[in-house]
Structure 1
Amino acid sequence: MQFHHRAVPIALSAVLIDAIGFGIVMPVLPRLIVELSGATLADAARIGGYMLVAYAVTLFFAGPVLGTLGDSIGRRRVMLFSMLAFSIDYGLMAVAPTIGWLFVGRLIAGITGASFGPANAILADVTPPEKRGATFGLMGAAFGMGFIIGPAMGGLLAELGPRAPFIAAAILSGLNAIWILVALPETLAPENRRPFAWRNAHVFAAFKPIFHAGNAKWLLLAAFLWQFAHMVYPATWAFFGEIALGWDERAIGLSLAASGVTMALVQTLVMGRAVKRFGEAKTVVFGIIAGGSVFIGYIFARELWMIGILIVLGAFQALVWPSINALLSRMTDPSHQGALQGGMASLNSLALILAPLLLTQSLAYGSERGFTGGNFLVAAILAFAALVIVLLKVVPKVER
């Protein structure tokens, strides 16, 4: 594949490794938590939720800081720092002697995971405005590919022990850091830099733009509820697989990879056709119905063939988020498009912080009482609440 600037593949590889790093630990995390803490699987699910919250909170605050720092000292240094820290983080988690060290590792991962912002800035620096849409599409593809590779790699490497995936991630991050050091040019010209100021890195200011979204407020609420519900997969799937289905790490990793592949196929082959025929609003409705129905299915399904069917049907929930983004863009006046995207990023971060607390606790509480589908019950309730909002407040307005 030909790239218009040599910085592009390096930035894409950083995002790819970020996503692999997030996904690679999912299959092995339950066993590693149990090994280090001596907890039951139900309690391990709770601990895993707290770890994901630690990651998300750090990411929430680190994003604006690293972005502002990149505007001051340049993108290259920030990217190099992120990748080196990623390598150190995974090496630390590979040898972690206690559960506390795992939390330290997740905190470091939250800081380094904020490299998405600098990576996007690199692409913006080197890409003409009229071509940025296609280039940013490559960023989304890199993240999606990482979330397919990561869980599959984690599941396969788990056969060598629960720490093997962390060692592999540390090596990958270290090699990428060397590539950045040797090959990545600085893309921010000196005349475009600005002094670093903490007031420019204030995360709570990101919520203000949401209130400028006007008619989009109901769709924003539905988007938040959907994102909250959809977090049931990264927050609880590995624990659900062991507790409810009796799966090992290999099965968990392969199931996550299969889910990623089917969703990618839907986005590639179905997304455009669905929007063209039904419009964005109805495509959101179809996607939420598919996702919510699959959540209900997971409450009861315990046979492998049932899970396979649900993974295929669940792929159609990939229709939701791109359609919501397109609708929000159309419902918001041109002067607030950038502000809206900033607010959406903050809402997503907030969902990433809150969802693991509720969803992992629901799984743990239910499993201790013989009901192993509590996480998906909560997700289904949230998804269908989002559906009601879209049907009553969004579709009528769009179809006037």
Structure 2
Amino acid sequence: MTPAQQPRREAAFIFILVTVALDMLALGVIIPVLPKLIVQFEGGDLGSAARIVGLFGLAWAAMQFFFQPVLGALSDHFGRRPVVLASNLGLGLDYIFMALAPSLPFLLIGRLISGATAASVSTANAYIADITPPEKRAGRFGLIGAAFGLGFVLGPAIGGALGAYDLRFPFWAAAAFSLANALYGYFILPESLPPEKRTTGIVWRSANVAGSLDFLRRDRALTLLSGALFLSYLAHESLPALFVLYTQQRYHWDVADTGWALAIVGVSQTIVSGGLVRPAVARLGEKVTLTIALVSGALGFLAFAFAPTGLGFMAGAPLVALWGMANPSFQGLATRLAGSSEQGRLQGALGSLRGVSGMTGPLIFSQIFAFSLSIDFFSGASYFAAAALLVSSLTLGLKAINYKLL
């Protein structure tokens, strides 16, 4: 990289950070109001609305599962810029569609579209791999994680404030964020993948779920690493699936208690992703950083499982936050196992794994929790299972590293 190219690439990286933050902000804005809007469509029937909310969550995760590989393969052929910009534009228009949705089926269609267009996160990760040397990628993926966290911390707060006036307002705000991002990117964002490094044709074999997962099986180290990442993704699903119900059942927290606790967790994870990943990887290397992250996460989940008081439960939050160093380390290691023209397919395949965890994790952990309550057994069993998943993730990750990467 020449000195003249460095400022341009730094500006491009900042745009990608802004893109991810605004995308997550837009998604976060509608979190507090989407269930309430569904309740409204269902005439106030909470039981019926709860089942539909679950269906909406499954539908969104399924679209992520199917479209991550597609957008990744498209970005390998056409470049990252058009895919990122099309996603921002599509999200903005879709939020307008949802703001105007006259009935529940229209709202579901909008949610399906947002699941497909939000799948461009894999392209954003490929963009980072394009413009960053391998040894610095983990740190930058950490900053992407911080942008995620910032969006999800601020988004629900903005959405809750706007939704207090009208349940449709947050959708308009989300549309404004996404459309402004598309306009900004149209004038600012350069292409990161030069024509000579693009695939000569769209690799349709990889632009689908089966093909993308087959892509991960082509190399033993990549197979082990992706398996470790999937187990980490799966453990993460225990947080959104159980946090509210578990703390209500065990510690009798009300809505305010839960809100403050989630804010503390979100801020802690943002600080770790944005401030600790880069110096940790630079000083310790990805192998040691990954080990510390997964061990910390496992200990944090054990604290969640066994803490007798709410204060003890929150003592596990910093440990779970340190686990936030794992995903950037995984991503940085994985990018070394794919060529420059394959980063989109790699990120699409890894995104599909996240889609699988998003579809299966909530069901698994909620059923463990429900079963433990039904037999009056250890109610922290779900978080104990999450800790076990992280130990398994560490085992596979170290095998992958020792096999080929280091």
User: Shorter-chain TM-score: what band?
Assistant: 0.7 to 0.9
Q: Which residue of 2 aligns with 1:205?
A: 211
2-structure distance, mates of 1:130, 1:286: 24
Could you tell me which residue of structure 2 aligns to residue 296 of structure 1?
A: 305
Contact 1:284 1:323 in 2 (8 A): no
C-alpha contact 2:81 2:192 (8 A) present in aligned 1 = yes
Q: Report how far residue 80 of structure 1 moved.
A: 2.6
**Distance across 1 between alignment mates of 2:348 and 2:209:** 10
CA distance in 2, matches of 1:260, 1:13: 18
Mapped pair 1:287 → 2:296: yes
Q: Alignment length, in residue pairs?
A: 389
Where do residues 108-257 of structure 1 align in structure 2 (5 Å cutoff)?
A: 108-124=113-129, 127=131, 129=133, 133=137, 135-190=140-195, 193=198, 194-196=200-202, 198-212=204-218, 214=220, 221=227, 223-235=229-241, 237=243, 247-248=254-255, 255-257=261-263
1:1-400 map, 5 Å: 4=9, 6-38=11-43, 41=46, 44-124=49-129, 127=131, 129=133, 133=137, 135-190=140-195, 193=198, 194-196=200-202, 198-212=204-218, 214=220, 221=227, 223-235=229-241, 237=243, 247-248=254-255, 255-267=261-273, 268-269=275-276, 276=284, 279-280=288-289, 282-284=291-293, 286-296=295-305, 308-322=314-328, 344-359=350-365, 377-387=381-391, 390=394
Query: Deviations along 1:63-89, whole A, 9 cap, x unmatched?
Result: 222233334444433223211211122
Q: CA RMSD in A?
A: 4.6
Do the aligned partners of 1:222 and 1:389 also contact (CA within 8 Å) in 2?
A: yes
Mapped contact 2:142–2:325 kept (Cα < 8 A): no
2:315 and 2:164 map into 1 onto residues whose CA distance is 27
1:106-161, CA deviations, whole angstroms, 9 ceiling, x for partnerless residues? Answer: 21111111222333444455x36468625555433322322332233334434334
Structure 1 residue 263: Cα displacement: 2.0
Q: Tell me if the contact between 2:69 and 2:348 (Cα under 8 Å) persists in the aligned partners.
A: no
> Residues 71 and 207 of structure 1: is their aligned pair in 2 closer, same or farther, counting only changes over 3 Å?
closer
Q: CA deviation at 1:380?
A: 3.0
The CA deviation at 1:293 is 1.9
Q: Secondary structure at the match of 1:160?
A: coil
State the Cα distance separating 1:228 from its structure 2 match. Answer: 1.3
**Does the CA contact (< 8 Å) of 2:92 and 2:175 recur in 1?**
yes
- The more displaced of 27-36 and 82-91 is 27-36
Q: CA deviation at 1:172?
A: 0.9
The whole-number CA distance in structure 2 between the counterparts of 1:345 and 1:176 is 22
Evaluate the alpha carbon distance shift between residue 36 and residue 247 of structure 1 in structure 2; reply closer, same or farther with a 3 A threshold.
farther
Give the direction of change, closer, same or farther, for the CA distance of 1:214–1:46 in structure 2 (3 Å limit). same
Alpha-carbon spacing, 1:312–1:158, altered in 2? closer, same or farther (3 Å): farther
Give 5+ residue unaligned stretches, structure 1.
none
Q: Within 2, Cα distance between the matches of 1:192 and 1:39?
A: 54
Tell me how far apart the structure 2 counterparts of residues 222 and 130 of structure 1 sit (CA, whole Å). Answer: 20
Q: TM-score, normalised by structure 2?
A: 0.73
SS at match of 2:205: helix
Code of the residue aligned with 2:156 in structure 1: it is: P
Q: Identity percentage over the alignment? A: 33
Change (3 A) 1:146 1:211: same
How far apart, in 2, do the equivalents of 1:85 and 1:286 lie? Answer: 39
Query: Structure 1 length as normaliser, TM-score?
Result: 0.74
Q: Secondary structure at the match of 1:201?
A: coil
